[in-house]
Structure 1
Amino acid sequence: MEQVKIPGTELTSSSLALGGVPFGSTLDEKKSFALMDAYVANGGNMIDTAEVYANWLPGEKSISESTIGHWMKVRGNRNKLIVTTKGAHPRMSTMQISRLSREEISEDVEGSLRRLQVDTIDLYWLHRDDRDRNAGEIMETLNDLAKEGKIRYFGCSNWTTERILEAQLYAESHGLQAFSANQPMWSLASVDPSKNEDPTLVVMDENMFKLHCDTGLTSIPYSSQAQGLFTKLNEGRLSFNNDSVAAIYRSNSNREKFDRIRILAE
């Protein structure tokens, strides 16, 4: 698997990251371990997880992090991996209440360190934003956590282009460490943000794409396969004709892309 240096860091990541949403929940520990073993055997070294995975289900909270932590402990491979996770997500019962105070970010970092069974997190993501909170305050908190050795580098997920620029400008003007990466929703599929059930999600648009091109800021997108949209269409499990396609992907643009993909695949 291709290895890619993340600019401005000492991290070299495999070109494909492994999504850890189902680990320990819909995918039991044995199957989770087998999948992570296969991923690493093929050259992978970044497993994407979060404090909130899968807290929407009954049972142990933050089970994905705990499962990955147990696997790293059993395999003794922590130093071969980029340990990464996300925090500062609203509680599932109060999605309208942001959690980006210094205390809340620190609480989530401490919890992730404990569950992952590591001393430091290589790449820490803010899972959501609080647009009413000054970006400089948030950058100060992240820099303090980096100085304490609890995180090495940090990035944002579901931040708008304007907010990313605000944060990066503050860091630059105050001699602080800036975001090393951004994790937006981005895939081959076109997305209609107006039909997104979760308004806190941010989709890569032209302005954000230009930001990445102009600054070299790394993008490590989520939903990079659009929830398997084109594979499921090809296998007949989804169809534009019966509206089984998720509303955010139900567009003429994606109909046309699917036709072009099939031609290219053949």
Structure 2
Amino acid sequence: MRYIKLCGRAVSTLALGTDYFGATVSKEDSFAIMDRFLAAGGNAIDTARLYASWLPGGSGASETTIGEWMKARQNRDQVFLITKGGAVDKGSIERARLSPSDLRYDITESLKALQCESVDLYFLHRDDESKPVEEIMPTLAEFVQEGKVKALGASNWKVSRIAEANAFCEKEGLPPFVASEIQWSLARSTPEKHDDLSLVCMNEEEYDYYLATGMPVFAFSAQAKGFFIRGAASGVDSNNQKAISRFASEENIGRLNRLKDLMAKKGMSAAAVSLASLSSRPFPVSTLIGCKTLAQLEDSLTAADATLTQEEINYLTNGQKL
């Protein structure tokens, strides 16, 4: 496993996504997946207050399952624990819940479900650009001061807003955002293609900021909903409709074809090539792997030590000859 440096910790370049843990992924299967991930050298586990809330009986299930696992295994100190708050129910997430009372409610409920006193990294799950950063960051600073949160991050925030928030924090002596979590994979996409305008997807402006600042990025949907894995094995049409509508552009099909070429040349899996195309960038990147089965986890773990050169990344993304 490779690691990035964040908050004075070595954080695995594979982060375990847990959207459905305790809901459509049973408690027993969730425990087995987390056990295997930790044994493989992974330590970054990513959850959210929102996760599984769109499923019957799923509200809080992911955090609760992780909390029960850490209590059963007595391994909280081995986990780089990430959660998120400030979002509203799926389907109505155009604006976030970022009032002091909403944020305090979420962090309180998260810590209760996770059965711990603090999380290592706390992301705001969404932004509300109508709300000034001056009204948001002081509340988050209180969480840090109270020991509930060790560090702060912004999920689905544009870099212009992150920069604005951090400039305010520097001026006021408050803890800044130290990491970002956005949608990013080898397949280019947009919020419109996801049918969710509250998302932020990696683009040139976003990328330039992370390159210039060195801010670590956690990439969600990093495997493009299996677009490359299924596409490499059985062709683009073998993907489900969600993956096709979000990722099956002419540009991304070209990237898929070049990925298959690199797989053959380097003896790597589709998962390893696609994830390494992100984690081998010049700034720190951890890719989220949303595994529902141990078999899916094992496939993703083929990327644990995988790297690509900048020339290979250029070949994948724009066809520049090797």
Partner residue of 2:237 out of 239, 258, 262: 239
Q: Please say if residues 53 and 64 of structure 1, whose CA atoms lie closer than 8 Å, have aligned partners that are also in contact.
A: yes
How many residue pairs match? The answer is: 264
Q: Which runs of 4+ in 1 moved over 4 A?
A: 240-245
How far is 1:12 from its partner? Answer: 1.9
Q: State which drifts further: 110-119 or 215-224.
A: 215-224
In structure 1, what is the equivalent of residue 73 of structure 2? 75
Q: Please say if residues 127 and 158 of structure 1, whose CA atoms lie closer than 8 Å, have aligned partners that are also in contact.
A: yes
In structure 2, what is the equivalent of residue 178 of structure 1? 176
**Using a 3 Å threshold, how does the CA distance of structure 1 residues 26 and 238 change in structure 2: closer, same or farther?**
farther
In structure 2, what is the equivalent of residue 5 of structure 1? 5
Q: Which amino acid aligns with 1:5?
A: K
Q: Please say if residues 126 and 156 of structure 2, whose CA atoms lie closer than 8 Å, have aligned partners that are also in contact.
A: yes
Q: Please say if residues 188 and 224 of structure 1, whose CA atoms lie closer than 8 Å, have aligned partners that are also in contact.
A: yes
Distance 1:106 1:263 in 2: 50
Q: Choose between structure 1 and 2 for higher RCO, CA contacts under 8 A separated by at least 6 residues.
A: 2
Q: Please say if residues 151 and 177 of structure 2, whose CA atoms lie closer than 8 Å, have aligned partners that are also in contact.
A: yes
Q: TM-score, normalised by structure 1?
A: 0.94
How far is 1:15 from its partner? Answer: 1.4
Q: Please say if residues 22 and 61 of structure 2, whose CA atoms lie closer than 8 Å, have aligned partners that are also in contact.
A: yes
Q: State which drifts further: 124-133 or 246-255.
A: 246-255
Distance 2:132 2:239 in 1: 46
Partner residue of 1:228 out of 226, 229, 250: 226
User: Which digits, 9 at most, give the CA deviation of each residue in 1:188-211, with x for residues without a partner?
Assistant: 111133322111111011111111
User: Which digits, 9 at most, give the CA deviation of each residue in 1:96-155, with x for residues without a partner?
Assistant: 453000110110000000000000111001000010101122111111110011111010
Q: Please say if residues 193 and 248 of structure 1, whose CA atoms lie closer than 8 Å, have aligned partners that are also in contact.
A: no
**Percentage of identical aligned residues:** 39
How far is 1:238 from its partner? Answer: 4.2
Distance 1:101 1:244 in 2: 33
User: Could you say what the CA RMSD is over the residues aligned between the two structures, in angstroms?
Assistant: 1.8
Matched, 1:125 2:106: no
Gaps of 5+ in 1: none
In structure 2, what is the equivalent of residue 204 of structure 1? 202
How far is 1:165 from its partner? Answer: 1.1
Distance 1:159 1:93 in 2: 18
In structure 1, what is the equivalent of residue 157 of structure 2? 159
Q: State which drifts further: 13-22 or 243-252.
A: 243-252
Distance 2:96 2:260 in 1: 42
